[in-house]
Amino acid sequence: RSNLDLHGLDGLFTHRAHPLVAAAGYLYVLDSVTFDVSFPFLFSLLNFSNPRIIYTTPLPNSNIWAFGAGVVSAYGRSFSIQLSKAQQVTLEFNRGTIAGTRSLATFGEVALCEQRRTVYLPLSIARPRTVLFYPSFGLYKHILWGGPVGKCTAKVECTGNGPIGNRALRLANNTSMCPVPPDVIPASIAER
């Protein structure tokens, strides 16, 4: 099955009893994440004594979750169906149920972590991604705004001061598919 951002949750449920998989808690991230040196220490601070605990940031959270083993049992086969990227974004924002599937946030008790922060817009790749830092987890998420969803109607503005390395995208309008993170610094569309 290919469920884009959520197929790993189904895989975790399938193999949850395997000795190499069974654990008190899990961290769920996607392949577009890199880890800060602070990650091992920060992850060690998470308490999974409540098996239904879910650690995440205010939504949208880039599908970054830390959760107890009871959450895996609670969601069961919920993520085994195929969903489009747009449908998965709707779930990430916790905006309802799609084909019987709902946001991971609904399967346990959410403990909100510190809000993500925009760090920079890298120039070294053909399709630059905005880099968001999640301080409670010590990890960086590399996001291609308006990627395969294709419904983003936000306008991009530029501050005009400082090198591009110190700037990031500022989405001028807030839409359900393209929320404006409150701490974003502007960069021009040409600089994307």
Question: What number is the average pLDDT over the span 53-77?
Answer: 95
β-strands 109-112, 53-56: how paired? parallel
Kindly tell me if the per-residue pLDDT of 121 is higher than 80: no
How many angstroms separate the CA atoms of 40 and 151, rounded?
A: 36
List the one residue out of 92, 130, 132 whose CA is nearest residue 115: 132
Kindly tell me if the per-residue pLDDT of 54 is higher than 90: yes
Kindly tell me if the per-residue pLDDT of 63 is higher than 50: yes
| 88 close to 15: Cβ distance less than 8 angstroms | no
Would you place residue 126 in the very low, low, confident or very high pLDDT band (cuts 50, 70, 90)?
Answer: low
pTM: 0.71
Lowest mean pLDDT among 68-77, 110-119, 170-179: 170-179
Nearest 5°: the CA angle 141, 41, 50 is: 90
Which is higher by pLDDT, 72 or 86?
72
Q: What is the dihedral of CA 113, 33, 36, 53, to 10 degrees?
A: 30
Reading the block at residue 147, the tokens are 């990627």
What's the mean pLDDT when you consider all of the chain? Answer: 77
Digit-coded pLDDT (tens) for 79-99: 998 888 888 888 888 888 888
Question: What number is the average pLDDT over the span 29-55?
Answer: 95
